[in-house]
A and B are shown apart, each in its own frame.
Chain A
Amino acid sequence: MPTMATDRVTEPTSLAAKLPDETLRKWLRDMLLIREFEVRSMQAYQNKKIGGFLHVYIGQEAVAVGTIAALKDDDPLITAYRDHGHALARGTEARYCMAEMMGRIGGCAKGKGGSMHMFDRERKMFGGHGIVGAQCPVGTGLAFATKYEDEVINSGRSRRVTLCYLGDGALNQGAFHEAMNLAGVLDLPIIFICENNGYSMGTAIARGTTMAEDLTAKALAYGFDSASLDGMDLMAVYDGIKPVVEQCRETSRPAFVEIRTYRYKGHSMSDPRKYRTKDEEQRYEAMDPIERFSKYLKAKRGFTPEANEAMIKDVRKEIREAIKWAEASPEPAPDELFTDCYTDKWGIYRGTSPPTMYDP
């Protein structure tokens, strides 16, 4: 179980605290954007505008925003199906993500992926994956490729870091263990980030995972450096992950970071959350990362309540417009059924074409 974190101001030693106002405000805005996007997605789902599975990131915003802030633009990232936060934090526009979930041609995957498959090639966002743990070996491949390109093709040194996100549930999958082992054996520049929200669907971590009370033991088994961070504190996330990223970049050695967080909603839309107490949920809601960071900016960065309100209004407007845009985007034409199955045209297959979000 993620432990209750205390409010703290880490100024003297904090890396985040040294960053300019503009950067920190953008972080707050990104978290607000994700929160608003997820709230509206839930509404759209209840109104049957989104179908299938919907796994929202509400409560976990600081993890995506804080970790992605520590990356360079050409560092690859990959995650599982609770992926809207990562896509938005990386910079994919909300309207393309919303259109994707509404199954429209304007979506980032032309409506053929859905909520679990947010991809953005230009922003090095490699998905969005449905099978628990399956993204971990794929993540090692991303790290392998950056290292290969930098060292073999360009005769330089490995300089990019891959972030591979997984939930606490994925810790039990064979694919995770094989990925960790391969990363260690092949010296891959990858950081496995375990977003530990304490539950795999309805199963509390202690029921399914050995060493649940100290997940860094998983890293120890593979000889990796590790860290355990408070995911409800955006600055702690950034402060904790930044040195790990830079070390990985320097040494091309893998690492494992547990980030303790909490999802305020269920696993997905049909989950009544009977496996958690109201008490527990309220305790974590009191630690809302957005509230806490907003408080810090108001206390230390001259962020006025008016500016806060204006930011919230602006975010709501952006999401409203994203929804409007998405709803106006047409459904994919019947031909799309037969495109992107193969890159070439043969038989019934019609070759491939990229999503329109890259059109000028």
Chain B
Amino acid sequence: MTRTIEFRDALREAMSEEMRRDKRVFLMGEEAAEYQGAYKVSRGMLDEFGPQRVIDTPISETGFAGLSVGAAMAGLRPIIEFMSWSFSLVAADQILNNAPKMLYMSGGQFPTPIVFRGNNGAGGQLGSTHSWCVESLYSNVPGLKMAVPFDAYDAKGLLKTAIRDDNPVFFLESERLLGVKGEVPEDEYLIPLGVATTRRPGGDCTIVSFGRPLYFCLEAAGVLADEGIECEVIDARTIRPLDIDTIAESVRRTNYCVVVDQSWPFASVGAEVAAQVGEVCFDDLDNHVIRVHNENVPAPYAYNLEQEMLPNARKIVEAVRAITYNA
């Protein structure tokens, strides 16, 4: 039995179920409790769990991100909500220098089972400081895992797994997707980290992406289908670990690969996936791997410029044509 719920409800169900299951799990963030969540993700949770388990923080990212590191070392399982991943930069030392390294530096004594979650990506004319896509910046660091859910179903399954994972997991949501509805089972389910899935099968070109840009990829696949090019759209689901096997299996069949990544192109996840595909599928590729990213500029405010900045469907269609012309 499934029901239709919003992406934000799926996130809340995941957190609430895990908090009922394990008293060590708590949620902390700006406006997470009394305001019912800045984006209404945690609506109702304060009523159910009380102020000791759903905790409002002052605007103090270094403070509460660091608090979560200590709390995790001492045996609790924090969920830290960043109102936007843009604000996580303030806490960079705690989330990059402390959380992912504590187990290693302590010689195996102190795991840090924390989920850091929040909105990631350009959110509709929010300007350059509020439009960060941190996947490329942070996925570089060993010791953390990173998940990017596509829809309500994935949001719930991946978040439950992330909360149960004993390592720090960076959970990248999207403000643009929070209201998107999807079919979510009533019964409990978990989606493992590190397993990609096919969003649209096809035999002519593989498009790999994660998160919101998948919607642009599916749009592009629709346009290309009218031209007789059937794209296979692969949702990586997690960046770290990256399921290169599923991606490679697809590229071996289609012989072409486009990677779509909503962060900036230089030293990006897109570049990483392209490099790995190149290494693993060299003999199967009929053209170089091509990447579609945000344009290499800060996010502008003006609507038309921001839309042009994104890895939109038009650019994805152009990229597929640019490499498959020799098929």
Contact = CB atoms under 8 A, between A and B. Distances in A.
Contact of A144 (B60, B71, B108, B241): B71
B58 A185 contact: yes
B326 interface: no
Nearest to B76: A145
Contacts of A343: 103, 111, 166-167
Interface in B266-311: none
B203 to A, nearest CB: 29
A112 interface: yes
Contacts of B110: 119, 121, 126-127
Contacts, number: 164
Interface string B223-247: 0000000000000000001000000
Contact of A145 (B74, B109, B194): B74
Interface string B45-61: 00000001101011010
Contacts of A339: 108
A136 interface: yes
Nearest to B99: A138
Nearest to B106: A119
A148 B76 contact: yes
Given A121-B110, A178-B62, A340-B107, A141 B194 contact: no
A145 to B, nearest CB: 3
A138 B62 contact: no
A344 to B, nearest CB: 7
Interface in A102-126: 107-113, 117, 119-121, 126
Given A138-B69, A152-B53, A343-B111, A175 B104 contact: no
Contacts of B53: 152
B201 interface: no
Contacts of B93: 131, 134, 175
Given A137-B94, A153-B24, A346 B63 contact: no
A64 interface: no
Contacts of B55: 186
Interface in A126-142: 126-129, 131, 134, 136-142
Contacts of A120: 109
Interface size class of B (residues with CB under 8 A): 35 or more
B103 A126 contact: no
A353 interface: yes
Contacts of B98: 129, 131, 134, 138
A178 B63 CA distance: 5
Contact of B105 (A78, A117, A174, A342): A117
Interface string B15-41: 000000001101000000000000000
Given A140-B70, A153-B23, A353 B106 contact: no
A344 B167 contact: yes
B71 A145 contact: yes
B23 to A, nearest CB: 5
Contact of B106 (A117, A137, A139): A117
B64 A142 contact: no
B104 A137 contact: no
A352 B108 contact: yes
Contact of A342 (B23, B67, B74, B143): B143
Contacts of A126: 70, 73-74, 110
A340 B108 contact: yes
A237 to B, nearest CB: 25
A322 B55 CA distance: 46
A119 B109 contact: yes
Contacts of A153: 23-24
Contacts of B184: none
A179 interface: yes
A250 interface: no
Of B26, B57, B62, B145, the most chain A CB neighbours within 10 A belong to B62
A126 B93 CA distance: 17
Contacts of A12: none
A355 interface: yes
Contacts of B94: 134, 137-138, 175
A76 interface: yes
A78 B52 CA distance: 24
A347 interface: yes
B108 A110 contact: yes
A151 B23 CA distance: 12
A185 B74 CA distance: 20
A144 B53 CA distance: 11
Contact of A347 (B68, B105, B106, B241): B241
A148 B68 CA distance: 12
Given A141-B71, A343-B167, A151 B107 contact: no
Nearest to A112: B107
Contacts of A146: 74
Contacts of B97: 131, 134
A342 B63 CA distance: 24
Interface string A139-173: 11111111011011100000000000000000000
Nearest to B194: A346
Given A109-B105, A340-B108, A182 B74 contact: no
A352 B103 contact: yes
Given A340-B108, A344-B166, A179 B74 contact: no
Contacts of A112: 104-105, 107
Contacts of A111: 107
A355 B68 CA distance: 24
B146 interface: no
B67 A341 contact: no
13 contacts: A119-B109, A127-B106, A128-B105, A128-B106, A136-B66, A137-B94, A141-B71, A142-B71, A144-B70, A175-B63, A182-B57, A340-B104, A341-B103
| Those 5 A-B pairs whose CB atoms lie nearest each other, nearest first | A141-B70, A137-B66, A178-B63, A109-B107, A145-B74
Interface of A: 76, 78, 107-113, 117, 119-121, 126-129, 131, 134, 136-146, 148-149, 151-153, 174-175, 178-179, 181-182, 185-186, 339-344, 346-347, 352-355
Given A129-B98, A149-B75, 9 more contacts: A110-B108, A134-B98, A138-B73, A145-B74, A146-B74, A153-B24, A175-B63, A342-B145, A343-B103
